[in-house]
Copies of this chain bind each other. A is one copy, B any other.
Amino acid sequence: MNAIKDSVHDWISLDPVAADLLDTEAFQRLRHIKQLSTVRLVYPSASHTRFEHSLGVYHLAANALDSLGIEGQRAEHVRAAALLHDVGHGPYGHQTEEVIRRHTGTDHDELGDLLYETDLVGVLDRHDLDPDRVAALVRGEGELGQLVSGELDVDRMDYLVRDAHHTGVPYGTIDHGRLVRELRYRDGRLVLAEGNVATAESLLLARALMDGIVYRHHVSRIAGAMLERACERLLVGDLAVDEFRRMADHDLLVALRREVPDLGRRIERRDLYKRAVWAGIDRVPDAVTELDREDERAAAREIAEAAGVDREAVLVDVPSRPELKESRSRVVVDGVVQRLEQASEMVGALRATRRAQWRLGVYAPEHEVDAVHEAARGVLGLP
């Protein structure tokens, strides 16, 4: 097999390294990790996986390298990194990232020893590729690393288009052909060539619209909070975090149903908690907006006690402050490299929009919602 049919990019040609990497157990595992985890509880067509996404990122990386005239071993390392950029993901992708970080101190793009501990190292060796260099590229390091992980990376370009295709929500459908063609290096920085402020803005806007309509849909957030709580409880038990992070979606779903049946069964059959509180940033005390996961759990326990309900029946969900990574992408304007946030008025507006979209969530089983609502107002100091 040297070309794979993809529903987004049509045919994806594989170089010999990619063809061999594809065949490893570590990469095949990505077939069993859905790209959008709990989002598919809202958009039922969105069952696509990190396997096909990784192929798409590889494909766009190859196109970008061609367009930039980068060849040989340097290009091989970048393509390998693009293909492998998600092998460090735990089950349910981003949804378990925070749990894993708390238990291990590492992120999914910290491949660490993973390349050495799996059958990936053998393939890299055989093709004379350096695992450390691949890992560094996945972390976004160096000139070429920006292609894999950065404000203008091909990861973002693939997932926006792919998520649009699979959810049916059109707003992620960017012109990746143009973005890839307009990439340039200036003083070691990846930038968009002159005349592409609007191109950069389109990427930013696509991300912002998809965020509001898809990625942070409240149903997905509720299910995500339930999943995260269930995973915490799973890790309190016998399960080692190292085993946990190597699970795939099906392993986790079965484990949760068995070990944390109250939440596990609810997630599996989409019997979700409801919103007891859903409050905009202006209604929430500053201190609350800065709660970390530990604080959230403490607050949830306090609310549960105040409401007289089971302590597992309350979830507090404080999203991170809005961030706009794309706003720091670089564009050439009148011959000078600028950050998009300098070149575009859109960035400030999007920051404000995302601030306006921010919501504190407190979730509980449907019949407890009223009691939890009252208790949460008191505990969190809401008006």
Contacts and interface: CB of A to CB of B under 8 A. Distances in A.
Interface of A: 3-8, 10-11, 23, 25, 28-29, 31-32, 34, 40-41, 43-49, 51-52, 55, 165-171, 173-175, 177-178, 181, 198, 201-202, 205, 209, 212-213, 249-251, 253-254, 268-271, 344-346, 348-350, 352-353, 356-357
Contact of A10 (B11, B177, B249, B253): B177
A7 B55 contact: no
Contacts of A10: 168, 177
Given A49-B47, A51-B44, A178-B11, A170 B173 contact: yes
B55 A44 contact: yes
Nearest to A199: B213
18 contacts: A5-B45, A6-B44, A25-B269, A25-B271, A28-B271, A31-B41, A31-B44, A44-B49, A44-B52, A47-B49, A170-B173, A170-B174, A171-B202, A205-B205, A344-B353, A345-B352, A346-B350, A349-B349
B209 A202 contact: yes
Contacts of A345: 348-349, 352-353, 356
A169 B251 contact: no
Nearest to A11: B177
A281 to B, nearest CB: 13
A256 B350 CA distance: 47
A7 B205 contact: no
Contacts of A209: 198, 201-202, 205
Contact of A268 (B32, B41, B49): B32
Contact of A8 (B43, B45, B174, B253): B45
Contacts of A46: 7
A45 B6 contact: yes
B31 A40 contact: yes
A211 B3 CA distance: 20
